[in-house]
Amino acid sequence: RSPKLQILSYPRFEQYFYYCFYWYLDNYAQKDIPFRQQSLIQAIQRGLGVSFSEENMKRINLWLLISKKRISFMSPIYTELKEKMVPYEQDYLFLELKSIVLRLLGHYAVEVDEEEAMIHFSFLMSFQVLSQQDYHQYAIIRSKFTPVGLVDTYILESLILYYTPLKLSHQLESQINYYLSRIHSRLYFFYGMIESLSREYILETEKEWSGHVIYPLVESLFDSVEGDYVGFSSENNAQLIAHSKLQYLHVIALIDSHINKNVKIGVKLLLEDVYQEVSTTRLIKKLNCLNGVSCSKYKDNQSFDLIITNKPLTHINTEVYLLSELGTSYDMAHIIQLIRNISTRKMKKDMTVKKIQL
């Protein structure tokens, strides 16, 4: 059957498509919420015992408005969605949401069934309209053995193992789990993606500020999670998978920014006193802006992974970069590449992992 018929027959995909279309292309975040809709969203908040941010209230408003138009449009097919929801039949949040949806959507004067609650649950999980604090409270009591719960735990533990002996704080672990759950839920429940940012731009930006090569780690983690997401082959879901890999990249970059100071650099410039101090300070500040880098003045009694200097040094076993001229973009490009190579060598670990079905 044609892609258009598939979208119209499967209500979750139809709603997801129009949600992405209006949210990303119609700048829906800038629009006000009508008073009646505000009352409806506030009732959902009270029923679930959560608090939505202003932006997430607008996300929910858009989702509800699309639901209203979709419900009366045509006879949907729920078979695949019901199969996906089997592990969540006794989920606390789903049971709460089901009673709320069946009661509140009756205001639209249309017939609402249980499957409608399933669609709203998939939205709630995949777009993380719950705050991090509310999600944390839910995560404490949710089953860890749902498809998404298993993969959340597996990827988080893989990242903790990768960064050993460095440790993630409890707060950072909670934050990472929050983002991972959104990524994996969307892969589990939905299909396709409207990209609002350039993938190439994001990858190039990562190269500029990251102290080590993140993307190979992203590929290793993602390859360890296999499955034909939402019933379609991964080959036909290339956009959402590529988008999810970029989100993995952001998650790893977040960890880097908090804990990873993996490459130690010493700066030893031999210049006139005042100029030496200013040039050394400037170079140290520039390099310390890179994730994974700890840069300071060179001292004989300290060990470094790389020494940067403007004069040849003797009796030093550490890798040395000799500046061609102070402050040039040519030198900075080569220094950054050296840092990435050193960090990647130091952090490259055996990522032999068990395949997991998502």
Model pLDDT for residues 31-84, shown as the tens digit of each residue:
889 888 898 899 999 999 999 999 999 999 999 888 888 776 656 667 778 888
pLDDT at 210 over 70: no
Distance of CA 75 to the CA centre of its chain: 35
C-alpha to C-alpha distance for 306 and 144, rounded to whole angstroms:
44
CA distance 44 to 254: 32
Distances (CA, A) of 273 to 282, 308, 313, 322, 354: 14, 18, 19, 19, 57
- Looking at residues 197-214, what average pLDDT do you find? 62
Lowest mean per-residue pLDDT among 24-33, 66-75, 174-183, 228-237: 228-237
Residues 187, 241 contacting (CB under 8 angstroms):
yes
Mean pLDDT of 16-24: 84
Q: Are residues 178 and 134 in contact, defined by beta-carbon separation less than 8 angstroms? A: no
Tokens 């949710």 locate to 142
Determine the average pLDDT of the residues in 170-198. Answer: 86
Pick from 103-112, 171-180, 243-252, 309-318: least confident: 103-112
265-281 pLDDT, tens digit each: 999 998 877 788 888 99
Give residue 106's pLDDT: 63
Residue 153 has pLDDT above 80, yes or no: yes
For residue 259, what pLDDT band results from cuts at 50, 70 and 90? confident
pLDDT for 293 equals 86
Instruction: Give the Cβ contact number of residue 307 at 10 Å.
Output: 18
Q: What is the residue type of 196?
A: S
Flag whether pLDDT at 350 surpasses 60: no
pLDDT at 180: 94
Q: Which alpha helices (DSSP H) does the chain contain, by range? A: 3-9, 11-20, 35-48, 54-71, 79-85, 92-104, 114-126, 132-141, 147-163, 170-189, 199-209, 215-223, 238-259, 273-288, 329-347
User: Which single residue is written with the structure tokens 């009366």?
Assistant: 72
Q: Kindly tell me if the per-residue pLDDT of 122 is higher than 70.
A: yes
Kindly state the tokens that stand for 43: 């009732």
Whole-angstrom distance, CA of residue 174 vs CA of residue 191: 27
What confidence score (pLDDT) does residue 260 get?
Answer: 64
Q: Is 264 helix (H, G, I), strand (E, B) or coil?
A: strand
Tokens 């809709």 belong to residue: 37
Instruction: Write the pLDDT tens digit of every residue in 293-333.
Output: 889 999 988 999 999 999 888 888 889 999 988 778 889 88
Q: What angle do CA 51, 52, 58 make, to 5 degrees?
A: 160
Structure tokens, 233: 């082959």
The mean pLDDT of the chain is: 80
pLDDT over threshold 90, residue 178: yes
pLDDT computed for residue 164 by the predictor: 77
H or E element in which residue 267 lies: strand 263-268
Q: Could you tell me which of 292, 284, 270 has the C-alpha nearest to residue 341?
A: 292
Q: Nearest CA to 224 among 319, 41, 355?
A: 355
The single residue listed with the structure tokens 């979709």 is: 70
Please tell me the distance from the alpha carbon of residue 154 to that of residue 159, in angstroms, as a whole number.
9
Amino acid type, 133: Q
Q: Which of 123-127, 159-163, 284-288 has the lowest mean pLDDT?
A: 159-163
CA distances from 156 to 117, 151, 200 (A): 29, 8, 26
Mean pLDDT confidence for 169-197: 86
pLDDT of residue 230 exceeding 60, the answer is no
Q: Is the pLDDT of residue 4 over 50?
A: no
Between CA 336 and CA 339 the distance in angstroms is 5
Q: What is the mean pLDDT of the segment spanning 102-127?
A: 79
- Is 50 exceeded by the pLDDT of residue 228? no
